[in-house]
Structure 1
Protein backbone atom coordinates (compact mmCIF):
# COMPACT_ATOMS: atom_id res chain seq x y z
CA UNK A 1 0.00 0.00 0.00
CA UNK A 2 1.17 3.51 -0.77
CA UNK A 3 -0.24 6.78 0.55
CA UNK A 4 0.06 9.88 -1.58
CA UNK A 5 -1.35 13.37 -1.84
CA UNK A 6 -4.77 13.55 -3.40
CA UNK A 7 -4.79 15.29 -6.77
CA UNK A 8 -7.69 17.16 -8.46
CA UNK A 9 -7.70 14.39 -11.06
CA UNK A 10 -8.75 11.94 -8.30
CA UNK A 11 -12.09 13.74 -8.00
CA UNK A 12 -13.95 11.45 -10.44
CA UNK A 13 -12.79 8.23 -8.78
CA UNK A 14 -13.72 9.57 -5.34
CA UNK A 15 -17.19 10.65 -6.47
CA UNK A 16 -17.72 7.22 -8.05
CA UNK A 17 -16.54 5.25 -5.01
CA UNK A 18 -18.13 7.34 -2.23
CA UNK A 19 -21.74 5.99 -2.36
CA UNK A 20 -20.63 2.33 -2.33
CA UNK A 21 -17.93 2.84 0.28
CA UNK A 22 -20.19 4.96 2.51
CA UNK A 23 -23.07 2.50 2.29
CA UNK A 24 -25.56 5.14 1.19
CA UNK A 25 -25.77 8.23 -0.97
CA UNK A 26 -23.03 10.67 -0.09
CA UNK A 27 -22.76 13.99 -1.85
CA UNK A 28 -20.36 16.74 -0.90
CA UNK A 29 -18.77 19.68 -2.64
CA UNK A 30 -15.64 18.61 -0.79
CA UNK A 31 -15.16 16.04 -3.53
CA UNK A 32 -14.60 18.82 -6.04
CA UNK A 33 -11.27 19.49 -7.69
CA UNK A 34 -11.14 23.00 -6.13
CA UNK A 35 -11.29 21.55 -2.58
CA UNK A 36 -8.61 19.02 -3.40
CA UNK A 37 -6.45 21.74 -5.00
CA UNK A 38 -6.64 24.01 -1.95
CA UNK A 39 -6.17 21.28 0.69
CA UNK A 40 -3.90 18.91 -1.27
CA UNK A 41 -1.27 18.62 1.47
CA UNK A 42 -3.79 17.16 3.91
CA UNK A 43 -5.94 15.17 1.50
CA UNK A 44 -4.58 11.66 1.05
CA UNK A 45 -5.21 8.60 -1.11
CA UNK A 46 -4.26 5.02 -0.22
CA UNK A 47 -3.54 2.81 -3.21
CA UNK A 48 -2.74 -0.83 -3.66
CA UNK A 49 -1.70 -2.18 -7.02
CA UNK A 50 -2.57 1.18 -8.59
CA UNK A 51 -6.17 1.07 -7.31
CA UNK A 52 -7.59 3.53 -4.77
CA UNK A 53 -8.55 1.63 -1.61
CA UNK A 54 -9.15 4.59 0.69
CA UNK A 55 -8.92 8.32 1.11
CA UNK A 56 -8.85 10.96 3.81
CA UNK A 57 -9.75 14.62 3.42
CA UNK A 58 -8.62 17.00 6.12
CA UNK A 59 -7.22 20.46 6.64
CA UNK A 60 -5.11 22.56 8.95
CA UNK A 61 -7.32 24.96 10.89
CA UNK A 62 -7.02 28.56 9.77
CA UNK A 63 -8.69 29.75 12.99
CA UNK A 64 -6.98 27.63 15.63
CA UNK A 65 -3.29 27.47 14.72
CA UNK A 66 -2.48 24.33 16.73
CA UNK A 67 -5.36 22.21 15.36
CA UNK A 68 -6.05 20.09 12.30
CA UNK A 69 -9.38 18.59 11.29
CA UNK A 70 -10.20 15.34 9.52
CA UNK A 71 -13.36 15.96 7.54
CA UNK A 72 -13.97 12.53 6.03
CA UNK A 73 -12.32 9.15 5.61
CA UNK A 74 -13.57 6.32 3.45
CA UNK A 75 -12.09 2.87 2.90
CA UNK A 76 -13.15 0.35 0.28
CA UNK A 77 -15.24 -2.26 2.14
CA UNK A 78 -13.07 -5.00 0.60
CA UNK A 79 -9.96 -3.44 2.18
CA UNK A 80 -11.39 -2.80 5.65
CA UNK A 81 -9.60 -4.44 8.54
CA UNK A 82 -6.28 -4.32 6.69
CA UNK A 83 -4.88 -1.16 8.30
CA UNK A 84 -5.84 1.26 5.52
CA UNK A 85 -7.70 3.67 7.79
CA UNK A 86 -4.99 3.48 10.45
CA UNK A 87 -2.32 4.24 7.82
CA UNK A 88 -4.26 7.22 6.44
CA UNK A 89 -4.78 8.65 9.93
CA UNK A 90 -1.12 8.08 10.84
CA UNK A 91 0.05 9.87 7.72
CA UNK A 92 -2.31 12.78 8.47
CA UNK A 93 -1.04 12.95 12.08
CA UNK A 94 2.55 13.15 10.80
CA UNK A 95 1.67 15.95 8.37
CA UNK A 96 -0.22 17.87 11.05
CA UNK A 97 2.65 17.53 13.54
CA UNK A 98 5.15 18.67 10.91
CA UNK A 99 3.02 21.81 10.54
CA UNK A 100 3.12 22.48 14.28
CA UNK A 101 -0.33 21.09 15.07
CA UNK A 102 -0.84 19.42 18.42
CA UNK A 103 -4.56 18.62 18.30
CA UNK A 104 -6.57 16.63 15.77
CA UNK A 105 -10.34 16.84 15.66
CA UNK A 106 -12.93 14.83 13.78
CA UNK A 107 -16.53 13.70 14.08
CA UNK A 108 -18.78 10.74 13.30
CA UNK A 109 -22.49 10.07 13.52
CA UNK A 110 -23.77 8.46 16.73
CA UNK A 111 -25.15 5.35 14.97
CA UNK A 112 -21.71 4.37 13.58
CA UNK A 113 -20.53 2.30 16.53
CA UNK A 114 -17.64 0.81 14.51
CA UNK A 115 -16.39 4.32 13.75
CA UNK A 116 -16.59 5.31 17.42
CA UNK A 117 -14.63 2.19 18.40
CA UNK A 118 -12.04 2.81 15.65
CA UNK A 119 -11.41 6.39 16.76
CA UNK A 120 -11.05 5.47 20.42
CA UNK A 121 -8.56 2.70 19.48
CA UNK A 122 -6.52 5.37 17.66
CA UNK A 123 -6.34 7.39 20.88
CA UNK A 124 -9.11 9.88 20.26
CA UNK A 125 -11.25 10.91 23.21
CA UNK A 126 -14.92 11.77 22.88
CA UNK A 127 -15.54 15.42 23.66
CA UNK A 128 -18.01 15.88 26.53
CA UNK A 129 -21.40 17.30 25.54
CA UNK A 130 -24.51 18.34 27.39
CA UNK A 131 -26.55 15.71 25.54
CA UNK A 132 -26.21 11.95 25.15
CA UNK A 133 -27.82 9.55 22.71
CA UNK A 134 -27.64 5.86 23.58
CA UNK A 135 -25.01 6.64 26.21
CA UNK A 136 -22.73 8.55 23.81
CA UNK A 137 -22.10 12.30 24.19
CA UNK A 138 -23.31 14.07 21.04
CA UNK A 139 -23.34 17.59 19.72
CA UNK A 140 -26.91 18.20 18.56
CA UNK A 141 -27.42 20.03 15.26
CA UNK A 142 -23.67 19.97 14.60
CA UNK A 143 -24.10 20.82 10.93
CA UNK A 144 -26.88 23.39 11.30
CA UNK A 145 -29.24 21.02 9.44
CA UNK A 146 -30.22 18.82 12.36
CA UNK A 147 -27.32 16.38 12.12
CA UNK A 148 -25.94 15.11 15.41
CA UNK A 149 -22.26 14.20 15.73
CA UNK A 150 -19.90 12.54 18.16
CA UNK A 151 -16.96 14.91 18.46
CA UNK A 152 -13.42 13.53 18.88
CA UNK A 153 -10.15 15.08 19.95
CA UNK A 154 -6.64 13.62 19.87
CA UNK A 155 -3.55 15.25 21.30
CA UNK A 156 -0.41 14.47 19.34
CA UNK A 157 2.55 13.35 21.40
CA UNK A 158 5.78 15.12 20.58
Structure 2
Protein backbone atom coordinates (compact mmCIF):
# COMPACT_ATOMS: atom_id res chain seq x y z
CA UNK A 1 0.00 0.00 0.00
CA UNK A 2 1.19 3.48 -0.86
CA UNK A 3 -0.08 6.61 0.88
CA UNK A 4 0.34 9.99 -0.78
CA UNK A 5 -1.23 13.43 -0.76
CA UNK A 6 -4.41 13.82 -2.79
CA UNK A 7 -3.85 15.86 -5.92
CA UNK A 8 -6.47 18.04 -7.67
CA UNK A 9 -6.58 15.57 -10.56
CA UNK A 10 -7.71 12.83 -8.11
CA UNK A 11 -11.01 14.60 -7.48
CA UNK A 12 -12.87 12.99 -10.38
CA UNK A 13 -11.90 9.46 -9.24
CA UNK A 14 -12.94 10.28 -5.66
CA UNK A 15 -16.34 11.51 -6.84
CA UNK A 16 -16.79 8.32 -8.85
CA UNK A 17 -16.34 6.04 -5.80
CA UNK A 18 -17.67 8.19 -2.95
CA UNK A 19 -21.32 7.17 -3.00
CA UNK A 20 -20.52 3.49 -3.46
CA UNK A 21 -17.96 3.46 -0.65
CA UNK A 22 -20.21 5.52 1.64
CA UNK A 23 -23.16 3.22 1.06
CA UNK A 24 -25.53 6.01 0.02
CA UNK A 25 -25.53 9.09 -2.15
CA UNK A 26 -22.62 11.30 -1.07
CA UNK A 27 -21.55 14.57 -2.56
CA UNK A 28 -19.25 17.18 -1.10
CA UNK A 29 -17.36 20.32 -2.04
CA UNK A 30 -14.36 18.66 -0.40
CA UNK A 31 -14.04 16.48 -3.46
CA UNK A 32 -13.36 19.52 -5.61
CA UNK A 33 -10.03 20.78 -6.91
CA UNK A 34 -10.29 24.01 -4.91
CA UNK A 35 -10.51 22.09 -1.63
CA UNK A 36 -7.45 20.02 -2.47
CA UNK A 37 -5.51 23.08 -3.60
CA UNK A 38 -6.11 24.71 -0.21
CA UNK A 39 -5.93 21.66 2.10
CA UNK A 40 -3.63 19.25 0.22
CA UNK A 41 -1.23 18.87 3.16
CA UNK A 42 -3.94 17.14 5.21
CA UNK A 43 -5.66 15.14 2.47
CA UNK A 44 -4.24 11.68 1.88
CA UNK A 45 -5.00 8.85 -0.51
CA UNK A 46 -4.15 5.15 -0.12
CA UNK A 47 -3.41 3.11 -3.23
CA UNK A 48 -2.60 -0.49 -3.97
CA UNK A 49 -1.07 -1.29 -7.34
CA UNK A 50 -2.05 2.20 -8.52
CA UNK A 51 -5.72 1.73 -7.52
CA UNK A 52 -7.33 4.03 -4.96
CA UNK A 53 -8.44 2.03 -1.92
CA UNK A 54 -9.15 4.79 0.60
CA UNK A 55 -8.69 8.42 1.50
CA UNK A 56 -8.79 10.83 4.42
CA UNK A 57 -9.55 14.53 4.22
CA UNK A 58 -8.92 16.93 7.04
CA UNK A 59 -7.60 20.35 7.83
CA UNK A 60 -5.69 22.40 10.36
CA UNK A 61 -7.98 24.46 12.55
CA UNK A 62 -7.61 28.19 12.01
CA UNK A 63 -9.40 28.94 15.29
CA UNK A 64 -7.53 26.50 17.53
CA UNK A 65 -3.84 26.63 16.72
CA UNK A 66 -3.03 23.28 18.34
CA UNK A 67 -5.83 21.30 16.64
CA UNK A 68 -6.53 19.47 13.40
CA UNK A 69 -9.82 18.03 12.24
CA UNK A 70 -10.59 14.90 10.23
CA UNK A 71 -13.61 15.70 8.09
CA UNK A 72 -14.11 12.47 6.18
CA UNK A 73 -12.56 9.06 5.65
CA UNK A 74 -13.69 6.50 3.11
CA UNK A 75 -12.31 3.01 2.51
CA UNK A 76 -13.17 0.62 -0.31
CA UNK A 77 -15.31 -2.08 1.37
CA UNK A 78 -13.00 -4.78 -0.05
CA UNK A 79 -10.22 -3.33 2.14
CA UNK A 80 -12.14 -2.80 5.38
CA UNK A 81 -10.35 -4.44 8.29
CA UNK A 82 -7.05 -4.66 6.41
CA UNK A 83 -5.26 -1.70 8.02
CA UNK A 84 -6.00 0.94 5.39
CA UNK A 85 -7.87 3.22 7.80
CA UNK A 86 -5.21 2.82 10.49
CA UNK A 87 -2.45 3.64 8.00
CA UNK A 88 -4.29 6.74 6.75
CA UNK A 89 -4.95 7.98 10.30
CA UNK A 90 -1.34 7.40 11.37
CA UNK A 91 -0.05 9.30 8.34
CA UNK A 92 -2.52 12.11 9.05
CA UNK A 93 -1.25 12.27 12.65
CA UNK A 94 2.32 12.63 11.35
CA UNK A 95 1.33 15.34 8.86
CA UNK A 96 -0.44 17.48 11.45
CA UNK A 97 2.13 16.75 14.16
CA UNK A 98 4.96 18.25 12.12
CA UNK A 99 2.78 21.33 11.71
CA UNK A 100 2.60 21.74 15.49
CA UNK A 101 -0.84 20.26 16.07
CA UNK A 102 -1.20 17.99 19.07
CA UNK A 103 -4.97 17.47 19.16
CA UNK A 104 -7.05 15.77 16.46
CA UNK A 105 -10.84 15.87 16.50
CA UNK A 106 -13.44 14.07 14.42
CA UNK A 107 -17.02 12.83 14.62
CA UNK A 108 -19.12 9.88 13.55
CA UNK A 109 -22.77 8.94 13.66
CA UNK A 110 -23.70 6.93 16.77
CA UNK A 111 -25.33 4.20 14.63
CA UNK A 112 -21.93 3.50 13.04
CA UNK A 113 -20.75 1.11 15.75
CA UNK A 114 -17.74 -0.08 13.72
CA UNK A 115 -16.57 3.52 13.34
CA UNK A 116 -16.97 4.19 17.08
CA UNK A 117 -14.96 1.05 17.86
CA UNK A 118 -12.28 1.95 15.29
CA UNK A 119 -11.77 5.43 16.72
CA UNK A 120 -11.54 4.06 20.23
CA UNK A 121 -8.89 1.55 19.10
CA UNK A 122 -6.99 4.41 17.46
CA UNK A 123 -6.73 6.16 20.83
CA UNK A 124 -9.54 8.68 20.49
CA UNK A 125 -11.70 9.38 23.51
CA UNK A 126 -15.38 10.19 23.27
CA UNK A 127 -16.01 13.67 24.57
CA UNK A 128 -18.70 13.98 27.24
CA UNK A 129 -22.02 15.45 26.09
CA UNK A 130 -25.36 16.36 27.70
CA UNK A 131 -27.33 13.90 25.56
CA UNK A 132 -27.06 10.18 24.91
CA UNK A 133 -28.11 7.98 22.02
CA UNK A 134 -28.05 4.20 22.43
CA UNK A 135 -25.72 4.59 25.40
CA UNK A 136 -23.24 6.90 23.68
CA UNK A 137 -22.71 10.56 24.55
CA UNK A 138 -23.80 12.58 21.50
CA UNK A 139 -23.77 16.18 20.44
CA UNK A 140 -27.21 17.12 19.16
CA UNK A 141 -27.36 19.37 16.08
CA UNK A 142 -23.57 19.13 15.72
CA UNK A 143 -23.58 20.25 12.11
CA UNK A 144 -26.63 22.51 12.18
CA UNK A 145 -28.77 19.92 10.36
CA UNK A 146 -30.47 18.25 13.32
CA UNK A 147 -28.07 15.31 13.29
CA UNK A 148 -26.42 13.74 16.31
CA UNK A 149 -22.72 12.90 16.38
CA UNK A 150 -20.28 11.14 18.64
CA UNK A 151 -17.45 13.65 19.14
CA UNK A 152 -13.90 12.31 19.43
CA UNK A 153 -10.64 13.82 20.59
CA UNK A 154 -7.13 12.40 20.39
CA UNK A 155 -4.08 13.97 21.95
CA UNK A 156 -0.99 13.15 19.91
Q: Normalising by structure 2, what TM-score?
A: 0.99
Separation (CA, whole Å) in 2 of partners of 1:48 and 1:80: 14
Residues 76-155 of structure 1: pairs in structure 2 closer than 5 A? 76-155=76-155
Residues 61-107 of structure 1: per-residue CA shift (max 9 Å, x gap): 11100000000000000011110000000000001110111100000
| Structure 2 alignment gaps of length 5 or more | none
Q: How many residues align?
A: 156
Q: Normalising by structure 1, what TM-score?
A: 0.98
Matched residue of 2:36: which SS? helix
Matched residue of 2:20: which SS? helix
- Please tell me the root mean square deviation across aligned C-alpha atoms, in Å: 0.5
Separation (CA, whole Å) in 1 of partners of 2:25 and 2:121: 27
Moved over 6 A (4+): none
| Structure 1 alignment gaps of length 5 or more | none
Counterpart of 2:57 in structure 1 is: 57
Q: CA deviation at 1:110?
A: 0.8
